[in-house]
C-alpha cells in the first residue's frame, strides 16, 4: 500500500524579483550555480522550500535573519558553502528574493545590500506599494 503524498502546507511564499524587462536576476543566478554545481543549486532550492514550509511564527536566525531595516537574508548551507538570498517581506506571507549570492566572508558586502535595496525600491514603485 502506497502512502499518500499530500503536498505540505506552505506558510509563506518566496517569489523571485522581476525586473522591468521581465528578467529574474535571482533565477539567472540560480541557473549559473546549477551550471557550475547541480548539487549546490538543488540545496538552494530545497532550502527555499524548507523556509516556505517552516511552521513556526518565528523562523530561526540560522534560516532567516534581518540584515538591514528592510532587507532580510534567507540562509542556505551546502556542505561548507553558504548561500544567501537577500529579500524583503510583502505582507504577511510573501517574501521577494531580490539578490542571490555565495557568501564568502562573515559580513555582507555593502554593494550587495545596496543592490538589494535598489531592487526593493523598484519593486515597490512598480507595485505602487509604500515602503516600510
Quote the pTM value.
Answer: 0.86
Q: Are strands 94-103 and 81-90 parallel, antiparallel or unpaired?
A: antiparallel
Closest residue by Cα to residue 98 from 76, 116, 123, 84: 116
Q: Is residue 4 part of a domain?
A: no
Task: Express each pLDDT in 67-121 by its tens digit.
Answer: 999 999 999 988 888 999 999 999 888 999 999 999 877 788 899 999 999 999 9
Q: Are strands 81-90 and 64-66 parallel, antiparallel or unpaired?
A: unpaired
Q: Judging by beta carbons within 10 Å of its beta carbon (0-12, 13-18, 19+), is residue 33 exposed, middle or buried?
A: buried
Is residue 81 within 8 A of residue 57, CB to CB? The reply is no
Residue range(s) defining the domain that contains residue 90: 13-126
Q: Is residue 92 part of a domain?
A: yes
Q: Judging by beta carbons within 10 Å of its beta carbon (0-12, 13-18, 19+), is residue 87 exposed, middle or buried?
A: buried
Domain count, the chain: 1
Q: Is residue 3 part of a domain?
A: no
Amino acid at each position: 500500500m502506497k502512502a499518500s503524498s499530500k503536498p505540505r502546507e506552505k506558510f509563506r511564499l518566496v517569489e523571485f524579483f522581476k525586473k522591468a524587462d521581465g528578467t529574474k536576476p535571482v533565477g539567472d543566478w540560480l541557473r549559473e550555480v546549477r551550471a557550475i554545481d547541480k548539487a549546490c543549486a538543488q540545496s538552494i532550492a530545497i532550502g527555499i522550500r524548507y523556509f516556505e514550509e517552516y511552521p513556526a511564527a518565528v523562523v530561526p536566525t540560522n534560516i532567516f535573519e534581518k540584515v538591514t531595516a528592510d532587507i532580510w537574508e534567507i540562509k542556505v548551507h551546502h556542505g561548507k558553502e553558504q548561500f544567501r538570498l537577500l529579500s524583503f517581506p510583502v505582507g504577511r506571507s510573501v517574501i521577494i528574493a531580490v539578490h542571490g549570492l555565495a557568501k564568502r566572508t562573515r559580513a555582507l558586502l555593502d554593494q550587495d545590500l545596496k543592490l538589494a535595496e535598489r531592487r526593493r525600491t523598484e519593486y515597490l514603485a512598480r507595485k505602487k506599494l509604500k515602503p516600510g
